[in-house]
Amino acid sequence: MGKPISRSHSLLLHKPSSPPLSTTSSSKISFQSRKIRKLSTNKTTSTTTAITSTSIPHLKPLSHKGEIELALDHLSKSDPLLAPLLNSHEPPALNPCTSPFLSLTKSILFQQLATNAAKSIYTRFLTLCCGESQVNPDTVLSLTAQKLREIGVSGRKASYLHDLAEKYQNGSLSDASILEMDDDMLLNRLTEVKGIGVWSVHMFMLFSLHRPDVLPVGDLGVRKGVQSLYRLKDLPQALEMEQICEKWKPYRSVGSWYMWRLMEAKGFGE
């Protein structure tokens, strides 16, 4: 979906027992931009009952053919303020997620690090595992904290990686179950992993699983985008974000992506 911001200045949300992730941690997004597609800006009569993910139980991932186009059409009709932004920026294009476990592992490794440093450590981690295809729970558990420290992974992060791998080994999590869980259950289950907070799960759902209706209310870039688009005096808090972006359902993920593009155009995060 492109990047949130070149270096994320996100205000992260976490479960109380998890240490906070850095606000300078980059959540690299695996979406690329596509050719600009003009959308109708005709105003439509809004309804008081918004579409919700619960009323549409079979929402497809945004990577499914035609879903991005459906999302753009819905957003342009449901939010007149958003429509011009859709026309001035290229729509997102998705890259496939090969393994949820790999994506979660990478998310942990990238926490609290500048992009280049994180990429360097991740490259060494892949070498230690003998390639991406070998990044699995057994391999991660075979890596001692000392081995991980030798490639630049802190002792705390090593414990996070091991906790994730252990939850896969004991059956609490699996790639298959993650793909089947709804958003609420996934949020609850993944935040039980040490070091994974709400913001990290939102990014995972957006950019690895391509879930269509994720609103990262704790992300500073998205919050600033909403503040700018709606000309709000103050930075919106979580409840206000939910209320304002209700009209985007069931495609709040795409609306959020355009908030990052809006702030990127304004130079936020440079």
Q: To 10 degrees, the CA torsion angle through 17, 23, 24, 26?
A: 70
Provide CB contacts within 8 A for 57, sequence distance 6+.
Answer: none
- Which of the pair, 112 or 172, is modelled with greater confidence? 172
Using CA atoms in the order 105, 111, 116, 120, what is the torsion angle rounded to 10 degrees? Answer: -40
User: Which residue in this structure is represented by tokens 């974000």?
Assistant: 241
Q: Is the pLDDT of residue 86 over 70?
A: yes
pTM of the predicted model as reported, rounded to 2 decimal places: 0.80
CB contact at 8 A, 258 and 217: no
* For residue 45, pLDDT beyond 80: no
Q: What is the pLDDT of residue 268?
A: 79
Written as one letter, the residue type at 55 is S
Q: Which of 44-48, 57-61, 109-113, 234-238 has the highest mean pLDDT?
A: 234-238
Q: What is the pLDDT of residue 83?
A: 93
How would residue 216 be classed by pLDDT, with cut points 50, 70 and 90? very high
Average pLDDT, integer, range 46-67: 60
Residue 253: CB partners within 8 Å, gap ≥ 6?
Answer: 1, 62, 71, 205, 206, 210, 211, 212, 213, 214, 215
Coil, helix or strand at residue 17: coil
User: Residue 194: pLDDT above 60?
Assistant: yes
Res 88: pLDDT:
92
